[in-house]
Structure 1
């Protein structure tokens, strides 16, 4: 068996920006002294005159991005999720969200898989923060293919967009000729009738791993890639709920305010299914190898398999 190709979505972000830069002169990339880590350094090398290093001043960077957007440019403001969504929340809300400016926020190093950087840098709250901002689109791509497509779609979308990328290299799962990315439109990767697993980000692959194990036990799990958290594909959620009666959400984010909460908001209106949320359970992370942390916090395929099996058989 050939080895599965793995690429970090932050790497995809940097490469996608270069492709955008070749096609569109209005693309400006901003960074907060992290160009090497966020991979915007790839764009900086290709287009040095269109890359601005704002230093370790994320709030100011968002203000600069807002100003550029007001002049007709399409800025991609880049930093770690902890700083882009956390430290700069007020500026994102008031300077970008409130005036509905066309700013794209590239947030890398999100979630537990940041690994050795530890709890202070493992942002598990960013989706919750960003989806509360009126008019903000929130996208969490699952692999290299999807990340590149999401960056392109974000450019074409008029209005603020929050793009969530990871540090850890993850399997490429969308490398097929039928793949299509559309903001707000979920993708069903596997059909099933017993339970629906709705996942985002690196958890999409882990959900597929879990589904394979469940199939061996005679449990047919539908797997849905919910790459857009806002606007959420409510039609896909309700269809899955009606079909299976049981939904499991999986995310590398707090179970409070993220994908699981967004899905529950939809299901609660109709009470058409039971929902179990899998994610980070209201705790801070810790320093350690990314793979080991994913297992410890029960976000790996084996842990998902065990939880979903118990949920279905309950």
Structure 2
């Protein structure tokens, strides 16, 4: 894999500028975090279409819902934890229940948040948002996929939650992502690894390490969390001897639960092993420390999967 020169937040900010030129309906509302989320680039390019709402996320969502009724396409910019928790009620009441054409760019999700601490880490957002009727949930795996999903979300009419990682990461292999599909990033017949978002790159790296030990695994990437392509997943899992899900999210209600639900209803139910955050709050520390601590680094994932498969780590 090659390293992306852009982070997802940079890809999102740059795509917004392009959309601003292409579509005068594009507006951005920020929760006093524009320099972090990269919404400040849009503010510089289109100051008349940028609304700085301050640290008032509930009000931010309400204003966006109102703007959507006028035909504008509002993009919301803040950290994911403030949308999925602090502003959850107005998202539910004003956006999802009314099917408002509001796009939520949730930055700094997962554990790779550096030194922010447990108040800012969000590892339950997929469980919360995918359970909300009418909400589309997207989790791109790299900058290119983020750009494609931002464009798709802008054209789609209805509420969208876009889960973004903070830091640059490896570019995923494969062609143009297609909304709603499960992507095969690596083929193999000894088992299946399923991942989503920024964690997919680390999962793919773990598969490469395991291949050196003689374990050849298929790696599936799920960028569209909702709607989830259950049939596509079941077809791609096929007759695999085991399935392991890996996600930068809680074990409750995230990708692992989705895959377990799908395979349990399929023609050949099989156990799903989940690698994710257990029932815990995230500590403060560097990204590398946190990934190792919670078993999400490529090295930790490879060791866990090796044990499950009975291969020497």
TM-score scaled to structure 2, two decimals? Answer: 0.95
1:187 is aligned to 2:187: no
Contact 2:136 2:161 in 1 (8 A): yes
| Partner in structure 1 of residue 115 of structure 2 | 116
The residue matched to 2:169 in structure 1 has which SS? strand
What are the equivalent positions in structure 2 for 1:1-314 lying under 5 Å apart? 4-174=3-173, 179-270=175-266, 272-313=269-310
Deviation digits for residues 238-260 of structure 1 (CA, Å, limit 9, x no counterpart): 11332314211111111111111
Contact 1:18 1:42 in 2 (8 A): yes
Contact 1:76 1:106 in 2 (8 A): yes
Question: Distance between the aligned counterparts of 2:213 and 2:270, measured in 1?
Answer: 22
TM-score scaled to structure 1, two decimals? Answer: 0.95
Question: Distance between the aligned counterparts of 2:2 and 2:110, measured in 1?
Answer: 25
Contact 2:4 2:142 in 1 (8 A): no
Task: Give the CA deviation at 1:6.
Answer: 4.5
Question: Distance between the aligned counterparts of 1:156 and 1:163, measured in 2?
Answer: 14
The residue matched to 1:117 in structure 2 has which SS? coil
Deviation digits for residues 65-101 of structure 1 (CA, Å, limit 9, x no counterpart): 1111111111111110010111000000110000111
Task: Give the CA deviation at 1:3.
Answer: 7.3
Count of paired positions: 310
The residue matched to 1:95 in structure 2 has which SS? helix
Question: Distance between the aligned counterparts of 1:286 and 1:300, measured in 2?
Answer: 16
Question: Distance between the aligned counterparts of 1:28 and 1:131, measured in 2?
Answer: 25
Question: Distance between the aligned counterparts of 2:192 and 2:241, measured in 1?
Answer: 8
Question: Distance between the aligned counterparts of 1:284 and 1:189, measured in 2?
Answer: 31
The residue matched to 1:244 in structure 2 has which SS? coil
Query: Can you give the 5+ residue segments of structure 1 that lack an aligned partner in the other structure?
Result: none
Task: Give the CA deviation at 1:272.
Answer: 2.2
Question: Distance between the aligned counterparts of 2:238 and 2:2, measured in 1?
Answer: 38
Contact 1:278 1:299 in 2 (8 A): yes
Question: Distance between the aligned counterparts of 1:162 and 1:220, measured in 2?
Answer: 34
How large is the RMSD of aligned CA atoms in angstroms?
A: 1.5
Provide closer, same or farther for how the CA distance between residues 70 and 3 of structure 1 changes in structure 2, counting only shifts above 3 A: closer
Question: Distance between the aligned counterparts of 1:189 and 1:304, measured in 2?
Answer: 17
The residue matched to 1:77 in structure 2 has which SS? strand
Query: Can you give the 5+ residue segments of structure 2 that lack an aligned partner in the other structure?
Result: none
Compare 91-100 and 208-217 and name the one that shifted more: 208-217
The residue matched to 1:59 in structure 2 has which SS? helix
Question: Distance between the aligned counterparts of 1:11 and 1:294, measured in 2?
Answer: 22
